[in-house]
Amino acid sequence: MQIQPALFETHQIRRIYDEETEIWWFSVVDIIQVLTQQSDYQTARKYWNKLKERLGREGNQSVTNCHRLKLPAADGKNYLTDVATAETLLRLVQSVPSPKAEPIKLWLAKVGYERMQELADPALSLNRARETWQKHGRSEKWIQQRMTGQETRNKLTDYWANHDIKKGEEFAILTNIIHQEWSGVSVKDHKEMKGLQSQNLRDHMNEAELIFTALAELSTRQIAETDDATGLVENKVAATKGGAIAKQARKALEAKTGKSVVTGDSFLPSGKTSRSKKVK
């Protein structure tokens, strides 16, 4: 996942992009703070807690659709925070009487429109990402490999979307199958190896990890296309086969070099990583 704050007027709205599910999640309290025009974050948080309780008693589906993800706070630490999609927030806004209701609705709609533009023209998303990676000091070679891998990923998710795979949970399930198969570890375990929390795993992969991820996803798509895989069950089979092809290549390289492709190395400023995990 990738944290990328957005600006509404003078207010910073924390948001996080889940690349596996291709969904933006926004901090609910940040939106509530704008709507209630509170300068104090804690007051806005208390307002949201009471509103959440009331909506919950009423059986409001918007509360059910909220999730909790780790986002950075004012003290620089990451805390579990209620987050929601733009679609869910548009419904929540209706529950808060505020002169900012219409402006925030227009802003959320604009955010959604920008995402639609990126889906129609992936180059827009890649260009924005390239600028971010450059700011974080990534080399041009790494950036090129990262962008190539993202193009491969986009083609795969486009196939999924057109063959009865639901964005969100099903995208994540298939992504994890591919990753587990080629790397020997789950997405979650790989992130733990690198000491990552809310950060995007791919943004902290080395060149080899990016290449083998792309090979696994390319193989998965081509196998799915050949078999005309439709629905989750059939695409699980394609994901396993595609990941296995990259796994064979990984093992062959490791046998020649004596070095593990999957590592706990990352681009975190502290350079700290979690404990090592044996890769199968």
Residues 146 and 73 in one domain: no
133-150 average pLDDT score: 89
In a domain? residue 157 = yes
CA distances 78 to 75, 81, 175, 199, 214, Å, are 9, 9, 25, 11, 30
Instruction: For residue 278, report the phi and psi dihedrals to the nearest 5 degrees.
Output: -65, 130
| Eight-class DSSP state of 114 | H
- Per-residue pLDDT, averaged over 205-232, amounts to 97
What Rg value do the Cα atoms of the chain yield, rounded? 20
Report the share of the chain in percent with pLDDT over 90: 51
What was the pLDDT predicted at 2? 64
Q: Are residues 154 and 70 in the same domain?
A: no
Confidence of residue 271 (pLDDT cuts 50, 70, 90): very low
Per-residue confidence band for 224, with pLDDT thresholds at 50, 70 and 90:
very high
Residues 111 and 168 in one domain: no
Start-end of H helices in the chain:
28-36, 41-57, 61-64, 86-92, 101-120, 122-135, 140-161, 169-183, 187-193, 207-227, 231-257
40-82 pLDDT per residue, tens: 888 999 999 999 999 888 888 788 888 888 888 877 788 889 9
- Give the model's pLDDT for residue 136: 80
- Of 118, 151, 182, which residue sits at a domain end? 118
Q: Report the C-alpha gap between 194 and 114 in whole angstroms.
A: 31
Q: What is the overall mean pLDDT for the chain?
A: 86
Mean pLDDT of 249-257: 97
| Statement: residue 235 has pLDDT above 50 | yes
| Tokens found for residue 96 | 């808060």
User: What is the tens place of the pLDDT at every residue in 19-43?
Assistant: 666 678 899 999 999 999 888 888 9
In the DSSP assignment, the letter for residue 94 is G
Place of tokens 């795979």: 165
Is 189 domain-assigned? yes
Report the domain count for the chain: 2
pLDDT band (50, 70, 90) for residue 265:
very high
Residue 56 within any structural domain of the chain = yes
Q: Model confidence at 280, in pLDDT bands (50, 70, 90)?
A: low
Query: 135: which residues sit within 8 A by CB, 6+ positions away?
Result: none
Domain contains 274 = no
Q: Which two tokens stand for residue 243?
A: 């990941």
Q: Is 18 part of a structural domain of the chain?
A: yes
Same domain for 146 and 113? no
- SS3 per residue for 199-238: CCHHHHCCHHHHHHHHHHHHHHHHHHHHHCCCHHHHHHHH
What is the band of 259 on the pLDDT scale with cuts at 50, 70, 90? very high
Please give the residue range of the domain that contains residue 220.
140-257
Confidence bin at 254 (pLDDT 50/70/90): very high
Are residues 12 and 111 located together in one domain of the fold? Answer: yes
Q: Is the predicted pLDDT of residue 222 greater than 90, yes or no?
A: yes
The length of the chain, given as a count of residues: 280
**Given this model, what pLDDT does residue 112 score?**
62
Clarify whether residues 236 and 179 are in a common domain: yes
If you average pLDDT over residues 242-257, what whole number do you get? 98
Q: Which residue has the higher pLDDT, 108 or 273?
A: 108
